[in-house]
Structure 1
Amino acid sequence: MAPPVPLLAVRGTEGIFMQNGPPLCSENTTFQRDKQVCTCFTFSRDGSLFSWGTTEKLHVFKVADGRMLWSIDVPKVAAVEFSPKGTTLATWNLYSKSKETAQGDQNLRLWNVQTGACVKSFYQKNRENWCPVWSDDESISVRNVNNELHFFENNQFDTIANKLHLQKVSGFVLSPGSQPSKVAVYVPGSKGGPSFVRLYQYPNFGGPTNALANKSFFKADSVEMLWNKKGTAVLITASTEVDKTGASYYGEQTLHYVATNGESAVVQLPKNGPIYSVVWNPSSDEFCVVYGFMPAKATVFNIKCEPVFDFGTGPRNAVYYSPQGHILVLAGFGNLRGHMEVWDTKKYKMISKPQAADSTHFYWCPDGEHIVTATCSPRLKVGNGYKIWHYTGAVLYKYDSPQNGELWQVLWQPFLQEVFQEKPIKYQVVQSDICSTETKPAQAYRPPALRNKPSSFSKLHEDEPPQNMKGQVECDKQLSKSALKNQKKREAKKAARQEAKLDEGQDKHFAEEPKQTQTVSSAPSSSGDPELDKKIKNLKKKIKAIEQLKEQQAAGKQLEKNQIEKIQKEALLLKELEDLELGL
């Protein structure tokens, strides 16, 4: 059976409509376009249900057969979200007060999806983290209420089943995957104390002794926590609002790794600067980070926080894995020019390098073959529209908002993971009727008097090429054995020279020729090949310099980029020296 064609939901000043994805790329006729002002919309997790709000009503629509489940008079819904299994619909309206209701209206409502009945209402003043968080099987759900986490079981919202209370809990994330559920909570530091993140397994709450893991750190005004898909580890991006060194406008960020087995680590990023994007591979065994002052670096790390592949530097600030995890896109959106790099994550080979200028949004299609880039208001109020691409760089469909019109949101219809299987990767650009996939780079302006003369162009930054780090990691693992072997050889040579010096001091023949004795005692062993001796001498000099840099690093000194790169080459230099000395 052929897999379904995902739909693309679109809302803007023209109302709300759905479009068939590739290869059709036409407006879907099962869903009737609603020309009223759409305030929000969403799909259920499996894509079978669709809900949207207008200035007058709230609707729930069944996608498969095009049947409207219900429409009720709930005006100006600002946000809407389905529970994971699609049994409950959560809506949020702006919090308001009136003369009749001094406390305000209960603006967070939970609806039974099948009947349209409101099953529970809450007060929720802030839009941030407004929606309750469910486990994948909906056995538990969580809300943050006045620095307490309130847990409900089996969608019974009239009874709080459990509470987790910590001083000033300001954030939490619930693990995905199967039971038992885990929750990561963040508590900011106070009175000079450190901030911390703790991992608990539901319902085993209590003090630090009951936590699965505990990670404390300074320099954290806020954090972003991200579980991997298996629910075994969390990546924590800790941020400060102000960089006290004055090096960054964005403040200062650090990246931490915490696992449910208690292991934790600081992810070492070899380039200074902001952390723009952190994403887990859907396989849960690696993650990619985009970081550093522009041009930014991008590196893939394994779960031991060891670098696996370095993509070098480039104009990027975001990373996106395909739903199957076999393709990765590095992109530079926002204040950058929309350059994208599409990579095969198995071979670490670049597939394409398209450009989507002025894009504000990027989404992978569930089939893992297509993407959509969009320019939406209010981020940009001109040039609104979207493009559907194939990952090889071909533009398959282009939509431009009408003159004076705005595009507000686009969203792919989601599907369960098993619906679309991973397909072999293509490197040749697929056929397209739209336009050329390659964009000509803009030429720098040159005065007429210089146009017929050779240009003297110099780059502001030195670009770093991609580098496979797997071999480097293996060398680092073997470094202890290699270093120990070389150390024994050096100690043996040193003992031999000292013994020779002692014998020479006792020998009367050498006493008559002191200059010759001095030369013999201080000269290193020679191979008889001047070039080989010179190589050995230079290698020893470089290794000694690296040892000095490592001592400075251990003492807390901040090393430069080139100095860190020298340290990373120590294993290769030691191996090269060992091979040369074995040939003596």
Structure 2
Amino acid sequence: MAPPIAFRGSDGVWMVNGPPDLGTRPNFPEDKSKWCKVIAFSSDGSLISWCNGEKTLIVRTSDYKQVAQIDKGKVNCLKFSPKGTILALWENYTVDRETNQGNPNLHLFSVQSGEIIKSLIQKKQSNWDPKWTDDEGICCRNVNNELHFFEGNEFDTIKTKLHMQKISTFALASSGPPYHIAGYVPGSKGQPSFVRIYKYPNFGGPQAALANKSFFKADDVQMKWNKTGTALLVLTSTESSDKSYYGDQGLHFMAINGECSLVNLSKNGPIYHIEWSPRATEFVVVYGFMPAKVSLFNMKAEPIFDFGTGPRNLAYFNPHGNILCLAGFGNLRGNLEFWDMRTKKLTAQTQSPDTTSFEWCPDGQHILTATTAPRLRVANGYRIWHCSGNMLQQVMVDKEKELWEAVWQPAAEGVYPTPVITASSVTAVAAAAQPQPEQKAQAYRPPQARGTSASIKLHEYEGPSDPNKKVSQDPNKPLTKNQKKREAKKAKGPQEGQAKAEPAPSSGYNASEPAAFTSSGDPEKDKKIKNLRKKIQQIEKLKEQQKSGKQLELNQIEKLKTEGSLLQELAALEIS
């Protein structure tokens, strides 16, 4: 049975059972406060915390008994440490009018002792939270453009510091020991920006860096470690550029062994999303002008599979890494594609329109999509899906109410085995599935296609492929223009350039093998013959395209109807 789901909205905080039950959680102490700003689970799902505008509560999920109550009612952000021993709370920064000193607004609460063990000043909400390793061996904070490190959750003593000029962003690898940290320093006065990777606590200047990557085009960076902490992806972006109003982007690969390289992408356009596989040996990139391309890369930043193009801008691996969901949200129509990462095959496809949040269930086979405020204040609700593409439940909240957040209760690693999707399991899920949501709008049709049944392709989509596999020519596939030229040269051989007698064309005129032209002595007549032959060749190409399954446009269909009259006119000119 899948774990339950927690919700936060204008109705307060509540929980429901996960599939297959999907009923309300009977023992959960529902909080009806209309001022719940935040909710958070511990990493193993054993604790849940929320602030209701008056106080902050910590509840044990095994029996829903209250563990602690904190007298902080204006908390905007909550975060548990990886082992659930510390709860970090962040409030808006304020200044004491009498002393003109800032009030501490970042509080570290010990779940075991039930007391706040440290209060610090953290002015900005961005990157407010301290970063821990999974074993809570070290904790790191960015304080006034330098990194402060604490060990063993002892926050009274700064164990060491990392000085990197004016470091603005950092990323701590969650695995270890040994522990690794990456820091980003923006460029200034003609100096490039750079990212450096260090091994904790060896911070003895640039020479101590395990890897160093510099770049000039970077106003901001996004850094993502893989699960084992051996490799880092660095996505750089600029606010604007000469080529694009949206700026330039670059994706770089860095490893703790010193390897650094640019990830080469095969399509121009923005980079929408980067995601490491939970298996830590591969990553996907969603990029390029729509329809976007998705590529899978190995630990050498080499492409190993191409998922083709389509209406997607996000990619999500399930917790076990054996299923990948490619999604298109935001200004796209909520397309969901499920791929088997072992066979690299598309297994299911559906749509979840108006989605603002997406999350895999810890069991690796169910998905939660939700439409939440303030992103969308209408049609708030949530849907539960199976990775076979079947929707198991759809719940919409009342029009007068709002849904602000929906999240699965996490589970410790190993609780759920790697899912194996069989035909019988898909059949059982399909039997319990609900009808798919209705589509709100029809696809756009250009003016010339309106009122007809002809399908119009606004984009040419590419299918999935292996970039390292050599593709042989399909004997049933028509040759390209260049291939036809090469074949014609081979057929002519040493006699190329010599004039040949041209037989008079009949109704079976073959345009793919044009005969050499012989002048009639009349320039005007020769010109008409050449034009007629050119039109007939175009018609033959259109007929080949029509046989291969391509849908022709209306003007092309009308051109096909003129073939008979053109052949008659050509025959009359060549006989006379």
The two structures have a TM-score, normalised by structure 1, of 0.78
Question: Please, which of 179, 195, 199 is the counterpart of residue 197 of structure 2?
Answer: 199
Between the aligned partners of 1:199 and 1:536, the Cα distance in structure 2 is 62
Counting only pairs closer than 5 Å after superposition, residues 237-252 of structure 1 correspond to structure 2 as 237-246=235-244, 249-252=245-248
- 1:26 paired with 2:13, answer no
Q: Deviations over 1:246-291 (max 9, x none)?
A: 3xx4311110000000011100001111100000011111100000
Name the CA shift for 1:130/1:432 in 2 (closer, same or farther; >3 Å). Answer: farther
Alignment-derived partner of residue 315 in structure 1 = 311
Alignment-derived partner of residue 271 in structure 1 = 267
8 Å contact from structure 1 (residues 354, 438) kept in 2: no
Alignment-derived partner of residue 417 in structure 1 = 413
CA drift at 1:176: 1.7
Q: Which runs of 5+ in 1 are unaligned?
A: 474-529, 538-584
Q: Percent identity?
A: 51
Q: What letter is aligned with 2:430? A: Q
CA drift at 1:443: 4.2
CA drift at 1:65: 2.0
SS for the counterpart of 1:467 is coil
CA drift at 1:469: 2.6
Counting only pairs closer than 5 Å after superposition, residues 280-359 of structure 1 correspond to structure 2 as 280-359=276-355
8 Å contact from structure 2 (residues 132, 174) kept in 1: no
CA drift at 1:298: 0.5
CA drift at 1:96: 1.4
Question: Please, which of 73, 76, 79 is the counterpart of residue 74 of structure 2?
Answer: 76
CA drift at 1:450: 8.2
8 Å contact from structure 1 (residues 310, 467) kept in 2: yes
SS for the counterpart of 1:124 is coil
- 1:379 paired with 2:378, answer no
Name the CA shift for 1:275/1:158 in 2 (closer, same or farther; >3 Å). Answer: same
Name the CA shift for 1:367/1:183 in 2 (closer, same or farther; >3 Å). Answer: same
SS for the counterpart of 1:468 is coil
Between the aligned partners of 1:433 and 1:60, the Cα distance in structure 2 is 35
The two structures have a TM-score, normalised by structure 2, of 0.79
8 Å contact from structure 2 (residues 109, 115) kept in 1: yes
SS for the counterpart of 2:369 is strand
Instruction: Decide which moves more: 395-404 or 323-332.
Output: 395-404
Between the aligned partners of 2:450 and 2:184, the Cα distance in structure 1 is 59
CA drift at 1:433: 4.4
Between the aligned partners of 1:536 and 1:93, the Cα distance in structure 2 is 82
Between the aligned partners of 1:535 and 1:261, the Cα distance in structure 2 is 58
Between the aligned partners of 1:447 and 1:282, the Cα distance in structure 2 is 43
Alignment-derived partner of residue 490 in structure 1 = none
SS for the counterpart of 1:359 is coil
SS for the counterpart of 1:209 is helix
Between the aligned partners of 2:150 and 2:462, the Cα distance in structure 1 is 51
8 Å contact from structure 1 (residues 396, 432) kept in 2: no
User: Number of residues paired by the alignment?
Assistant: 476
CA drift at 1:533: 3.6
Q: Deviations over 1:295-334 (max 9, x none)?
A: 1111111111111111111111100000000000111101
Q: Deviations over 1:429-471 (max 9, x none)?
A: 622545324866954578999877553x543322111112342
8 Å contact from structure 1 (residues 182, 201) kept in 2: yes
8 Å contact from structure 1 (residues 373, 386) kept in 2: yes
Alignment-derived partner of residue 39 in structure 2 = 41
Between the aligned partners of 1:34 and 1:113, the Cα distance in structure 2 is 21
Alignment-derived partner of residue 12 in structure 2 = 15
SS for the counterpart of 1:38 is coil
8 Å contact from structure 1 (residues 344, 425) kept in 2: no
Alignment-derived partner of residue 136 in structure 1 = 134
Alignment-derived partner of residue 385 in structure 2 = 389
Counting only pairs closer than 5 Å after superposition, residues 58-69 of structure 1 correspond to structure 2 as 58-69=56-67
Alignment-derived partner of residue 100 in structure 1 = 98
Question: Please, which of 342, 363, 369 is the counterpart of residue 365 of structure 2?
Answer: 369
Q: Which runs of 5+ in 2 are unaligned?
A: 472-486, 495-576
8 Å contact from structure 1 (residues 147, 170) kept in 2: yes
Between the aligned partners of 1:237 and 1:292, the Cα distance in structure 2 is 15
Name the CA shift for 1:28/1:535 in 2 (closer, same or farther; >3 Å). Answer: farther
8 Å contact from structure 1 (residues 140, 153) kept in 2: yes
8 Å contact from structure 1 (residues 393, 437) kept in 2: no
Between the aligned partners of 2:218 and 2:318, the Cα distance in structure 1 is 31
Name the CA shift for 1:449/1:362 in 2 (closer, same or farther; >3 Å). Answer: closer
Instruction: Decide which moves more: 142-151 or 93-102.
Output: 93-102
Between the aligned partners of 2:218 and 2:243, the Cα distance in structure 1 is 15
Note the aligned Cα RMSD (angstroms). 2.4
SS for the counterpart of 2:469 is helix
Alignment-derived partner of residue 487 in structure 1 = none
SS for the counterpart of 1:78 is strand
Alignment-derived partner of residue 179 in structure 1 = 177
CA drift at 1:534: 5.0
Between the aligned partners of 1:274 and 1:76, the Cα distance in structure 2 is 38
Between the aligned partners of 2:96 and 2:176, the Cα distance in structure 1 is 44
